[in-house]
Amino acid sequence: MRVGIVCPYSFDVPGGVQNHVMDLAEALITLGHEVSVLAPADDDAPLPPYVVPAGRSVPLPYNGSVARISFGPVSTARVRRWLARGEFDVLHVHEPFTLSLSMLAVLSARGPVVATFHTAMTRSRAMAAAQGLLQLVLERITARIAVSALARKVQVEHVGGGAVEIPNGVAVARFASAAPLPDWPGEGGALGFLGRFTEPRKGFGLLRAAYADLAATRPGLRLLVAGPGSGRSCSTGCRRGCTSASRTWARSPRRTRRGCCAASTCTWRPTPAASRSA
């Protein structure tokens, strides 16, 4: 099949949805399908060969984070050209209720559309105010997927429809033979955190507090933090040994992700359940 996938968030910044999109695209390619991914990114950005850049993104505060999206007349034109050239058998969009390429693609699509929803929140004034537009988008979607029970709950409560719950997959084979980061985990073991630790909703504060308690009774225990940010911002509140691999992650996210997991006795990765917003 010819499959078109739309990522709403910029590939210039690492993120969970972007990783999900890349893993899905590569799994489909491995199965023999033709896949093209459309995503916000600068035209000269280093991207996988199956990703088509849709231009520069703009930051939009949303659900306790900052989403970098593309939207407007220029983005609409790029989406329509990509759809026309792709002649896809199926279109798979992520987060189509966000003002983004995904919403534009749904509104421009002429074939089957599968939508995956990642956002989990307790309530949303923005979604409540945009019910008319969201219903229009919803009517054009053929099948819906939610990556968690909370993401599915958002669909039920805000737009009156359900979704099939399919959790994020993990390419286990990529991690099985991963080499740990140099000098890790150490004799005392290590706790690892992988994600945007500067965002409170990701739960790093909980892990940092747990580490402080564990380190008092486990000599040599270390905390490895991989994500965008500074070592100073992640070490505040730690009693010892907090290390940030933010710069390395920004340059080679996948390799460092695997190395971080291999270097940790136990790894904490934020999930949709940790992304609830009041």
Per-residue pLDDT of the chain (278 residues; tens, 9 = 90+): 999 999 999 987 778 899 899 999 999 999 999 999 999 988 888 899 999 999 888 877 766 667 788 888 999 999 999 999 999 999 999 999 888 999 999 999 999 999 999 877 655 565 555 566 777 888 899 999 999 888 888 777 766 777 888 988 777 777 777 788 777 788 888 888 877 777 776 778 888 888 888 888 888 888 888 776 655 555 554 544 444 443 334 334 566 667 777 777 776 666 544 333 32
CB of 69 closer than 8 Å to CB of 10:
yes
Q: For position 40, what pLDDT does the model report?
A: 93
pTM: 0.75
Q: For position 162, what pLDDT does the model report?
A: 76
Closest CA to 224 of 208, 247, 200: 208
Q: Which residues contact 257 (CB under 8 A, 6 or more apart)?
A: 194, 226, 249
Q: For position 68, what pLDDT does the model report?
A: 80
Q: For position 87, what pLDDT does the model report?
A: 96
In the structure encoding, which two tokens stand for residue 63, read together?
Answer: 């659900």
* CA 257/CA 268 separation, integer angstroms: 12
Establish whether domains 2-165 and 174-274 are of one fold: yes
Name the residue with tokens 């630790």: 197
User: Which is the CATH superfamily of the domain at 174-274?
Assistant: Glycogen Phosphorylase B; (3.40.50.2000)
Q: For position 203, what pLDDT does the model report?
A: 78
Q: Domain 2-165 class?
A: alpha beta
- pLDDT, tens digit, 9 for 90 and up, residues 106-117: 999 999 999 999
Amino acid at 82: W
In the structure encoding, which two tokens stand for residue 69, read together?
Answer: 């999206």
Q: For position 21, what pLDDT does the model report?
A: 94
Residue-range domain boundaries for the chain = 2-165, 174-274
Print the SS3 string covering the chain.
Answer: CEEEEECCCCCCCCCHHHHHHHHHHHHHHHCCCEEEEEECECCCCCCCCCEEECECCEEEEECCEEEEECCCHHHHHHHHHHHHHHCCCEEEEECCCCCCHHHHHHHHCCCCEEEEECCCCCCCHHHHHCHHHHHHHHHCCCEEEECCHHHHHHHHHHHCCCCEECCCCCCHHHHHCCCCCCCCCCCCCEEEEECCCCCHHHCHHHHHHHHHHHHHHCCCCEEEEECCCCHHHHHCCCCCCEEECHHHHHHCHHHHHHHHHHHCCEEECCCHHHCCCC
CB of 120 closer than 8 Å to CB of 31:
no
